[in-house]
Structure 1
Amino acid sequence: MEPPHPVPLPSRLAVGELAWRSVCAVGRALSPDNFRPPDPGQIAAAYRSDRQLRIDGEVPDVWSPLSRFWRTADGWVRTHGNYPHHASALTAALRVPPHASPEDISSRLATMASDVAAYEITAAGGLCVTVRREDPQRDAMLRRHPLVETRRVADSPARPLPLHSVTAPLSGVRVLDLTRVIAGPVATRTLAFAGADVLRLDPPHLPEPEWQHLDTGHGKRTALLDVGAESARVESLLADADVVALGYRPSALARLGLSPAALARRHPHLVIAQLSAWPGDDSPRGFDSLVQAESGISWIESADGGSPGALPAQALDHSAGYLLAAAVITALRRRAEVGGGWLVRTSLRRVAAELLGMPRRPVPAPADEYEARTQEFEVAGRRVTTVAPAVLWPGAPARFRPARPWGGDTPEW
């Protein structure tokens, strides 16, 4: 089904069309026989939710000064420094003081080749990629694989879905959320919106930016737990879960015994949802902005042809989140019908390849006006305004359940 009017996310690439398909996938998965098309304007608002977010009436700082494009001796790189430990690794790799100014970093990077800068920063634990041109052959190769891979990975008896209400079709479904940043939390926020009991676990030593939690934490419980040191408790939670959502690097998950293969052996009843920046079990860390830069999207979206640009929203993150949520819902239905443990997974780079294979415009379409539906709630005494849900199904609530204070719950069902 085509949208009644375009999703107003102006871009040379088909960002609006990708957003429409991704959000619609959730509605179709929840109500395959009675699909309700969502509002294109609300989809645009949901994809730009960080721009609508207000905390005590103020717009939060979303981007660190170290998350940006930088000119190098032979081109451009893109860095990501929103998390303090990544910012520290970046400055250490460049041999500048921890609180160096952007001007100091710019001067240092201007003397380095792009690939050298990316290698040294990444080797130090930071995040940096060379801004590259599009590679159509690589994208075509990626598109040979499903946008969201879905396969049976274990044998176990069928588990009927719990009794549920029209407003909460996933009521009774337990989701253990081991994701961070945007894409994974959007997926689990969507499952929580549909009624699932979502418990998010975060490492005590890695705080989440407040705005990020408040923008994606709706309807979830949130607890702090060192999953490496508390493996017995994690195993107990997994034993009683229906879904586990994985958003950490595949190699890090493997070290913790939480790779999809290991989970399927120990807990063959689970639906395992995995999301990473790049495809492959040895893929490095990554974020939406870095994948845009590495995949060629940034040059396609350049305003002047001389400096890289960006999509009008973090569309790879949001699309991956909605698509993964839809795949989880479909896998739960399959488990109810035929049993088994299921793996559903995608990557931001695979979503980028999908976008790069869609029709393009020579220039971005003009932005249409739209009025975003928002909602307000209080969290730990803070007044929070966020975008209301974009996903629809017959009986869908008009509002998210509020987010809870980050790390304030007990890690138990």
Structure 2
Amino acid sequence: MKPGNRYLSDGTLNPLDILLSDLGFKPYFDGILSLSGSDPILKSPHYLGEAVSYVLALDAVGAASIWKYRTGKKNNISLSIYDAIHYLHPTHFIWQSGYKIDLGAESVPTNGLFRCADGRMIMIESGPPYRKLETGYLNFFNCGNNRNALGKVIAEWDALKLENALADLGLPGCIAYTRNEWLDHEQGKILARTPVVEIEKIASGHPVDFSHESMSPLSGIKVLDFTHVLAGPRSTRTLAEFGAHVLHISSPYHRDTLAQNFAVDHGKRSAYLDLTNSKDLEKMRELLSQADVFANSYRPSVVERFGLTAAEAAKMTKNGIIYLSVNAYGHEGPWQKRPGFDQNGQVASGFAVREGTLKNPKFSPVFYLTDLITAYFAAAGMMSALLRRAVEGGSYHVKVSLARSAMWVQELGVIDHEALGHAPEQDNYPYKLIVEDTPYGKLSHLSSAITFSDMPDIKLFPVSPFGAHEPRW
């Protein structure tokens, strides 16, 4: 053992140990897991480096557990907090043909915190932006598409009235609550008693073992990826990184951006289906009936409209399905159908107020938090459910949410201001890149932050244009 490292076996990685127990990986993992480095590595009162290290390690142990179950082979796992921190914002480490590519959400006028008439701050967010949301805000506020114009109109609203008015229109919006306010909030109370990764058995069935071809932990696993934005598709990219066959489905008329594709769709094949077309919808159901995993990050109304809910999916397959649902504020309660992005989760949960103050909330130092933490939780939940299906059979509904992930980060505790010392305000630590040939030319992205002692190399499918492949396995 290396001096200065912390080990799972010595009790110094207790939050990770709890997650491993909760997700059922501990009986399968008998290797050594070590983490080098500790917080604070950024000027944040939250344990950001350790939080992302824990969830990356959780995914690694999930893959190692399945590999041990399938082959009997043991793995030791190591990672550095200085490599892991980049995985809190991997979208900032992408280059195409030598040119930096970024989502640019930080500079979108309809993304940000604005002060209301009662002095409270409210967060609105339209994403990259998505035209429907951006247009929705501008029509509602009847103003120009710039922060000054938006700020003047929002300053005339009471925060709670505006929060509710936006919700009625299906537009993301939330007050910057303190942590205590959120824990007293009806939705916050529900999330506080909800596991950060919910795994619900929704149907019984015979055990379905992994295939006999053990080329990788998830070889032979078919993942039907019906996700968008970042959290959902990044979770299925993680499954692809461990050998799953991932088929991403999107509408030809409602695609994510090119930058998002570069960020989260490595390792997947990509096909179009227009689910408003009856033949395409039937094809989607046919694909689902043959899948092991169905991942969804659209709002509940979408899968309800097309008959693709968890309960309906469980009836479509003979072998049981692992069904993932990702949303903003949890899967029960008055906010379960409200839309929201990464920063909405930071703001509603109290994370942003603790990063700054009630009058001046701030996002994570790297802008992102909940999308990526939630993605890694989702991947771990799906791997846990696949193990359960192999052992006891059945179908499982895995549920995660952005706000609950932000709450988990807060539950790790806070760092005293004095202890922050000279911690940098930005992530300027050295990074390692992989450069690969793709249909888009040479793409550079982060290399893995995890080192395994005995895991096969997995050749990932290069990033492909949306709709580049046929919708078939």
Among candidates 429, 438, 443, match of residue 384 of structure 1: 443
What is the CA deviation profile of residues 202-249 of structure 1, one whole-angstrom value per residue up to 9, with x for unaligned ones?
A: 122212111111011110011121234322101110111111011111
* Equivalent position of 2:415 in the other structure: 361
Contact 2:242 2:458 in 1 (8 A): no
TM-score (norm 2): 0.81
Deviation at residue 327 of structure 1 after TM alignment: 1.7
Q: Which amino acid aligns with 1:335?
A: R
* Equivalent position of 1:71 in the other structure: 115
Contact 1:94 1:121 in 2 (8 A): no
Distance in structure 2 (CA, Å) of the matches to 1:143 and 1:290: 17
Distance in structure 1 (CA, Å) of the matches to 2:414 and 2:58: 22
SS at match of 1:38: strand
* Equivalent position of 1:153 in the other structure: 202
What is the CA deviation profile of residues 100-126 of structure 1, one whole-angstrom value per residue up to 9, with x for unaligned ones?
A: 332211221122222233333333342
SS at match of 1:89: helix
TM alignment of 1:64-213, pairs within 5 A: 64-74=108-118, 75-81=120-126, 82-97=129-144, 100-135=145-180, 136-137=183-184, 142-165=191-214, 168-213=216-261
Q: Per chain length, whose mean CA-contact separation is higher, i.e. which structure has more relative contact order (CA < 8 Å, sep 6+)?
A: 1
Matched, 1:395 2:449: no
Deviation at residue 396 of structure 1 after TM alignment: 5.1
Cα separation, partners in 2 of 1:400 and 1:391, compared to 1, 3 Å: farther
* Equivalent position of 2:3 in the other structure: none
Cα separation, partners in 2 of 1:396 and 1:26, compared to 1, 3 Å: farther
Distance in structure 2 (CA, Å) of the matches to 1:213 and 1:233: 23
* Equivalent position of 1:280 in the other structure: 331
- The alignment's C-alpha RMSD in Å is 2.2
The aligned length equals 409
Residue ranges of structure 2 left out of the alignment (5+ in a row): 1-7, 14-34, 66-73
Cα separation, partners in 2 of 1:401 and 1:77, compared to 1, 3 Å: same
Task: Calculate percent identity across the aligned residue pairs.
Answer: 24
Residue ranges of structure 1 left out of the alignment (5+ in a row): none
What is the CA deviation profile of residues 73-124 of structure 1, one whole-angstrom value per residue up to 9, with x for unaligned ones?
A: 1221111122111101110111125xx3322112211222222333333333
Contact 1:53 1:60 in 2 (8 A): yes
Distance in structure 2 (CA, Å) of the matches to 1:165 and 1:10: 44
Distance in structure 1 (CA, Å) of the matches to 2:130 and 2:351: 24
Matched, 1:255 2:305: yes
Contact 1:12 1:301 in 2 (8 A): yes
Deviation at residue 391 of structure 1 after TM alignment: 4.1
Contact 1:389 1:398 in 2 (8 A): no
SS at match of 2:79: coil
* Equivalent position of 2:24 in the other structure: none
Distance in structure 1 (CA, Å) of the matches to 2:456 and 2:153: 52
Distance in structure 2 (CA, Å) of the matches to 1:14 and 1:379: 36
What is the CA deviation profile of residues 125-153 of structure 1, one whole-angstrom value per residue up to 9, with x for unaligned ones?
A: 42222222223445565343222111321
Distance in structure 1 (CA, Å) of the matches to 2:153 and 2:283: 46
Contact 2:234 2:372 in 1 (8 A): yes
Distance in structure 2 (CA, Å) of the matches to 1:212 and 1:195: 21
